[in-house]
A and B are shown apart, each in its own frame.
Chain A
């Protein structure tokens, strides 16, 4: 669809909101708990608008494949898509998402009302320019969960203090995190052998990248020269980045459960809920589920933001924005949904039912930090986010990183320097092909 037609339809939607013919909208997303919460919430939209909602949820490992195929093939399955933050560049440049600036202006939806990191991460292309292709829908970030009940046992406390000379508490630095991991590794608790930490090591999609960046950022890794775009040498493979990658491997070698060589979100949840590990790295979306779990919920778990490294404290951004697919035949109704979803009351309900609102009026409201045991950690984490490339060729950038990092961290091939030098070579090749270097 060309931009003039899209704008025409948008203004049509504006004028006709509420009076348009009932449509059957399909919203596409990943299959996970928040999606189920959205199904429940969307019943309000159906009642208000008269439209009906269908949902197409794809399991995470196949989500990108399935949805990017759908977009690239010009399919008509989805009217609305809650797509990963990295897809924005490609979807914007290929005309697969509708540009929403005019619609936002007409409806009085302001991006200033949302957490800045989520606007940059989920909605903008090019980054840091006011061109919006999505509304921040689900704020997410990598953080940590720990067994507060184990940490608070007097005998464990005493042993830890004797060994490390400090109280056993949620780690504030990555070095402390490793110490805690080593302390719990192979320990027997309640007659069961437990391990230090579940971290991301998954090879096939994006897992190990989403994990290792939490350490790399904090050791000085940068995607490019801040003064010269696409200049990678010395930034991706800086001395700090090499040290960071070595640290992640050391963490993998010292503190993970046996066989955790291909673990991502669900494997880490399983390891944690089954009482196998003292800590788990995972996206914040799992925290409501942890709280509700009979084994580890109800005060047994604590939460902490990704610990600081020598070069600062950052965390990997997750989450998604909601976009209108340019190919939709229900443009008016799809825009109506966006308008409905952008309301403060809806965003508040979104948080209440287990979603993660990015709206400042919700997350900055007095009492938000105390609304859930993990709410303060969520806020702390969202304040330190960094995201992976959102370039149109993000997949060509992601997969070599998966390969290089997994090859070093899990398979133990070569050195950290060789892995990052190789990554620079791969990424240079991609940008050369794109004509950006």
Chain B
């Protein structure tokens, strides 16, 4: 913590209070108040991070407390980066992340745009649309497992009805080519309303006067959309992308419930794989290295993204 912050805290301390605590300077009193917070932050954020980094260079297994911890250098990192299966999980995660964000932003924005038009019953529609995101992911996963059931599932029945295909001839969560899309569909169904709400807030924050001015200048609706709506809502869209990106990078419960990571490794996302390494195989050292790699990746990408977001906001 910088001295200036402490000084500001000291200056903010009422003189009467400071005088009552004899023998203690204002700076000391400030430290007394701030220290517990600093300690808690160090204990729950910094220490685990440092400890994880240390463990990532060892062969430690948490279920073998009697074994000596051996320093293995970069072996865990070499194994991870050379493991084709881990690269497959990264690929599956990237696929999930990109498609869910694209679908949710496009559909969410479209829904917000429609809902923003004043029409009878739009509040009711908003409530109905928002309903899926109020459910627990585990419940949603279970629910959709039944919908995807080839013989009795409504999803297959509807697809069969529309296309004329035999509903039992395909399995959304059982086939390699369909399973990644099955999780994208469910996540989109569940979280598009969240993006819609952010976009709706953005749309409602645009002053009507801007559109009225554009109308006076005889700008077409299309031109108003591209020159007013999109630029003004862009920070909101980017914020939605950031939230959904972070959420979906750590996606676990929904996918475990739906596909269990299968078939094969098709829908094994990094969070699922990391959990298996850490808490099923109990390879603590290995999984620490895995976590460090993911942390660096996400931190790097998020930093770049936040810089871009700030630039857009400043425009």
A145 to B282, alpha carbons, bound, how many Å? 36
Is B150 part of the contact surface with A, judged by Cβ < 8 Å?
Answer: yes
Interface size band for A: 35 or more
Contacts A68-B63, A258-B151, A406-B262 known; A411 to B176 CB distance under 8 Å? yes
Q: Name the distance in Å between B76's Cβ and chain A's nearest Cβ.
A: 10
Whether the Cβ atoms of A396 and B149 lie closer than 8 Å is no
Whether, in the assembled complex, B85 has its beta carbon less than 8 Å from a beta carbon of chain A, the answer is yes
Are the CB atoms of A392 and B263 closer together than 8 Å? no
A203 touches B283 (CB 8 A): no
| A203 near B263: Cβ-Cβ < 8 Å | yes
Once A203-B260, A258-B150 are accepted as A-B contacts, the answer to whether A94 and B174 lie under 8 Å apart by CB is no
Do B276 and A399 touch (CB < 8 A)?
yes
Q: Does A412 lie at the interface of the complex (its beta carbon under 8 Å from any beta carbon of B)? A: yes
**Interface presence of A173 (CB below 8 A):** no
**Smallest beta-carbon distance B78→chain A, Å:** 12
- Report B56-108 residues with CB < 8 Å from chain A CB: 59, 62-66, 79, 85
Q: Which of B148, B168, B280, B283 contacts A65 (CB 8 A)?
A: B280
B173 touches which of A90, A95, A202, A261 (Cβ 8 Å): A261
Given contacts A68-B63, A259-B174, A262-B259, contact A407 B280 (CB under 8 A): no
Q: Tell whether B265 is near chain A: CB-to-CB under 8 Å.
A: yes
Name the one of A261, A276, A408 contacting B262, with C-beta atoms under 8 angstroms: A261
Residues in B with CB closer than 8 Å to A411 are: 176, 262-266
Q: Are A410 and B263 in contact (CB under 8 A)?
A: yes
B259 to chain A, nearest CB (A): 7
Task: Tell me if B260 and A259 are in contact (CB < 8 A).
Answer: no
A260: interface (CB < 8 Å): yes
Question: In this assembly, does A107 line the interface, its C-beta being within 8 Å of a C-beta of chain B?
Answer: no
In chain A, positions 180-227 with a C-beta closer than 8 Å to chain B are 193, 202-204
Q: Which residue of A lies closest to B65 (CB)?
A: A94
Q: How far is the CB of A435 from chain B (nearest CB, A)?
A: 9
Residues of chain A with a CB closer than 8 A to B281's CB: 393, 395-396, 399
CA gap between A396 and B64 in the complex, in Å: 13
A403 sits at the interface (CB 8 A): yes
A403 and B169 CA atoms in complex are apart in Å by 25
A399: B residues at CB distance < 8 A: 276, 280-281
Decide yes or no: A94 and B64 within 8 Å by CB, A203-B260, A257-B151, A411-B265 being known contacts: yes
Q: Which residues in B have their C-beta under 8 angstroms from that of A65?
A: 279-280
Question: Is B171's CB within 8 Å of the partner chain A?
Answer: yes
CA distance A259 to B265 in the complex (A): 17
Give the residues in chain A near B279, CB-CB below 8 Å: 65, 69
B262 near A260 (CB under 8 angstroms)? no
Contacts of B171 in A (CB 8 A): 258-259, 261
Range, interface on chain B: 35 or more
Interface residues in A41-90 by Cβ distance below 8 A to B read 64-65, 68-69, 72, 90
- Scan B259-285; emit 1 where CB is below 8 A from any A CB, else 0: 111111110000000001001111100
Neighbouring B residues of A261 by C-beta, 8 Å = 171, 173-175, 262-263
B59:A433 contact, CB within 8 angstroms: yes
* B62 and A72 contacting across the interface, CB-CB below 8 Å: yes
* Inter-chain contact A413/B176, CB cutoff 8 Å: yes
Q: Does B256 contact A (CB under 8 A)?
A: yes
Nearest chain B residue, comparing its CB with the CB of A202: B260
> What CA separation (Å) do A258 and B166 show in the bound complex?
11
Closest partner residue, chain A, to B266 (CB atom): A411
Tell me whether A258 and B168 are in contact in the complex, defined as CB-CB below 8 angstroms, given that A94-B63, A395-B280, A396-B281 are known contacts: yes
CB distance from B165 to the nearest CB of A (A): 12
A262, B182: Cα distance in complex, Å: 15
Enumerate A371-419 residues with CB–CB distance to B below 8 Å: 392-393, 395-396, 399, 403, 406-408, 410-413
- Please name all residues of chain A whose beta carbon is closer than 8 Å to the beta carbon of B265 when the two chains form the complex: 403, 407, 411
Q: Which of B124-148 contact A (CB under 8 A)?
A: 148
Residues of chain A with a CB closer than 8 A to B79's CB: 429
With known contacts A392-B64, A396-B281, A259–B151 Cβ distance under 8 A: yes
* Interchain CA distance A407-B267 in the complex, whole Å: 11
Q: Which residues of A contact B262 (CB under 8 A)?
A: 203-204, 261-262, 406, 410-411
Question: Nearest Cβ in chain A — how far from B262, in angstroms?
Answer: 4
Report yes or no: B282 in contact with A406, Cβ–Cβ below 8 A: no
Once the chains are docked, how many angstroms separate the CA of A204 from the CA of B263?
10
A406 contacts B263, CB within 8 Å? yes
Interface core residue of B62, B169, B279, B280 (most chain A CB under 10 Å): B280
Complex Cα spacing A147 to B175, Å: 28
Tell me whether A407 and B150 are in contact in the complex, defined as CB-CB below 8 angstroms, given that A72-B63, A260-B174 are known contacts. Answer: no
Can you identify 5 A-B contacts, CB atoms within 8 angstroms?
A202-B260, A258-B170, A259-B150, A395-B281, A410-B264
User: Which 10 residue pairs spanning A and B have beta carbons closest together?
Assistant: A411-B264, A261-B174, A407-B264, A203-B262, A204-B260, A259-B150, A259-B171, A258-B150, A396-B281, A411-B263
